[in-house]
Structure 1
Amino acid sequence: MKLKGVRKSRNIEDRRRSGGGGKAGIGGVGLLVVLAIGYFAGIDVTPLLQGLPQEQGTPRELSAEEQQAAEFSARVLATTEEVWDRLLPEQLELEYQPPVLVLFSGQTSSPCGGASGATGPFYCPADQKAYLDTEFFATLSRQLGAKGDFAAAYVIAHEVAHHVQNELGILGEVNQRRQAVGQTEANALTVRLELQADCLSGVWASKVKGLLEPGDLKEALNAARKIGDDHLQSRAGRVPQPHTFTHGTSDQRESWFARGYQSGDVHSCDTFGARNL
């Protein structure tokens, strides 16, 4: 992704210098792999983490890699701001208020609960902030097999898409519906929510075509496949169980991202009205 010359968003809250409260003693990438797979595959990894020693975070200098990740995130976030600031008024006659992206290391807090690698990148509607441990980029590339800078950009765009859903009132409505049904039905609603965010990410990607390099689109589509529920449950040694899915299958995630990319239209992302996903 050609980000040289792209402005850096000011809507970045970097908490990484404080250490974020420490990491579980198994450390670094190994911890993130366990937690990321647990999050995406719907597996309870608590037994693996209980009893592990915690290191208290202390003020520290950021590594060159961490600084690069922050600059990358700030520039990608800026592209989402420009796209949605234009698209929401054009397509839905709504004004866009961009979210803040919180960068943290290990653990941090949010109004939606404690944030760590266990949650994965996530969006909290209570404070309208997206949360990202930038080490997740390494996990995505080295451990989950989703390589490339545009795969990492897709992760940010996906969380921003949840903010778009919040701006449209979709998150609140889905949350109310989830509370009125059983777990299986609630999971099915969550899948539709996540696939819609994938589609909206594709819409964003269609509007930054001028920044794409050869292979970028393939990187995003591959990332969508690598974090499909069926793929991650299989990777974790489990037989995929659709009733536990919360993000959609690899085919569904890739398909809805592609749909948004091909149409460039928010209206094409109505996963809740779709009979077949």
Structure 2
Amino acid sequence: MRLDDYDDSIQVEDQRGGGGGGFSFGGGGGGGLPFMLLGLIGSRFGIGGVVVVVIATLLFGGLQRGPVGSTNPALERSATMPGSARTGGGTSTLAQSCNVNAFSHESCNALSSLNKTWKPLLAASDVAFRAPHLVFYSQQGTSGCGAAQSAMGPFYCPSDAGIYIDTDFYTEMDKQMDAGGDFARAYVMAHEYGHHIQSLTGISEQVHAAQQRNPSAANPLSVRLELQADCYAGVWAARNRDRIEPGDVEEGMKAAHQIGDDTLMKQAGRNPVEAAFTHGSSAQRMTWLRKGLETGDPAQCNTFATAQL
């Protein structure tokens, strides 16, 4: 996918080599390991989800998510101004953070494109736009939702409006998942950005409230949230159709297939159990990504049409 170079309006934070960047852990009452793990479930790309979900189920007896949109003051990020990148050792230029490797550059380009695409779409729906920030980390880092670890895969944290990525994940996508390609990587960014859109529109809070009222519906509602983020990723791609190259759509569909819950469970040696799905089956993820691609219309991404919220 041919994207323009990022501009200086994007916000980037770089925790690579800095011991966690601008975050600090502290009390906060009610945080701890369950919140840190479960607060991320339902807002990740999907890879690594089986591992985290199994751990959460065994240790905490369920899949109730941490409060979407709540902020622990002890975990709030230090402000990062557009046009700069905060690191563990201070402030660097965007160029330094976005050009650590080719994957970093791609991610910054995608963020810039996503901001430019979604800002007018939200304005048309009278939704106030606020750009997310992109956080690079290596192996482990910290977020407003707790610990960031590579095994979790890319994720979005609503507490600090951050998209968290360890770019080594993209190598794993290619080598271990057979889901490489620049469009597949752009799909990752666009999916996490979709969760940011859900936070801005309030759908994330509605879903969390519904999950609290009816814990037995937590997983099905999580699936709908993830599938909508897939559809939003397709909407972004459709709105930038002139940038799509031959083979790109096929890359995206293959990636969507490879990170379906049923496929991941089979690869982990488990029998797929729909009741345990949190992101959707391979077929569902491909269907909703394709719907966004074909329509380019966010209104067509209503995965909650038949759900009680």
Q: How does the TM-score come out when normalised to structure 2?
A: 0.74
CA contact (8 A) 2:224 2:304 kept: yes
Query: Aligned letter for 2:253?
Result: L
Deviation readout 1:104-134 (Å, 9 max, x if unpaired): 0011111211111232211111111111111
Partner of residue 18, structure 1: 18
Instruction: State the alpha-carbon separation in 1 of the partners of residues 47 and 207 from structure 2.
Output: 25
Figure out how many residues of one structure are paired with residues of the other and give that number. Answer: 247
CA contact (8 A) 1:191 1:245 kept: yes
Partner of residue 194, structure 2: 161
CA contact (8 A) 1:110 1:124 kept: yes
1:95 aligned onto 2:128: yes
Query: Aligned letter for 2:241?
Result: K
Instruction: State the alpha-carbon separation in 2 of the partners of residues 135 and 255 from structure 1.
Output: 28
Query: Aligned letter for 2:2?
Result: K
CA contact (8 A) 2:97 2:104 kept: no
CA contact (8 A) 1:19 1:104 kept: no
1:168 to 1:122, Cα distance in 2 relative to 1, 3 A: same
Q: CA deviation at 1:63?
A: 11
Deviation readout 1:155-174 (Å, 9 max, x if unpaired): 00100100000000011111
1:175 to 1:237, Cα distance in 2 relative to 1, 3 A: same
Deviation readout 1:177-209 (Å, 9 max, x if unpaired): 111223x41000000000000001110010111
Instruction: State the alpha-carbon separation in 2 of the partners of residues 273 and 125 from structure 1.
Output: 23
Q: CA deviation at 1:10?
A: 2.5
Partner of residue 182, structure 2: 149
Query: Aligned letter for 2:122?
Result: L
Instruction: State the alpha-carbon separation in 2 of the partners of residues 187 and 45 from structure 1.
Output: 13
Query: Aligned letter for 1:43?
Result: V
1:216 is aligned, of 236, 239, 248, to 248
Partner of residue 109, structure 1: 142
Describe how 1:120-131 pairs up with structure 2 within 5 A. 120-131=153-164
1:37 to 1:256, Cα distance in 2 relative to 1, 3 A: closer
Deviation readout 1:80-103 (Å, 9 max, x if unpaired): 01100121122x122321100111
CA contact (8 A) 1:38 1:44 kept: no
CA contact (8 A) 1:161 1:201 kept: yes
1:171 aligned onto 2:204: yes
Instruction: State the alpha-carbon separation in 2 of the partners of residues 185 and 8 from structure 1.
Output: 42
2:227 is aligned, of 195, 201, 205, to 195
Single out whichever of 201-210 and 92-101 deviates more from structure 2.
Answer: 92-101
Query: Aligned letter for 1:69?
Result: F
Partner of residue 218, structure 2: 186
1:79 aligned onto 2:113: yes
Instruction: State the alpha-carbon separation in 1 of the partners of residues 97 and 121 from structure 2.
Output: 36
SS at 2:229 equivalent: helix
1:63 to 1:269, Cα distance in 2 relative to 1, 3 A: closer
Q: How does the TM-score come out when normalised to structure 1?
A: 0.82
RMSD: 2.5
CA contact (8 A) 1:9 1:75 kept: no
Partner of residue 169, structure 2: 136
Query: Aligned letter for 2:159?
Result: A
Single out whichever of 104-113 and 160-169 deviates more from structure 2.
Answer: 104-113
Partner of residue 265, structure 1: 297
Q: CA deviation at 1:14?
A: 1.4
Runs of at least 5 residues in structure 1 that lack an aligned partner in the other structure = 22-35, 48-57
SS at 1:18 equivalent: coil
CA contact (8 A) 1:8 1:75 kept: no
More helix by share: 1
Q: CA deviation at 1:11?
A: 1.3
SS at 2:159 equivalent: coil
CA contact (8 A) 2:257 2:283 kept: yes
Runs of at least 5 residues in structure 2 that lack an aligned partner in the other structure = 22-45, 59-87, 90-95
CA contact (8 A) 2:99 2:105 kept: no
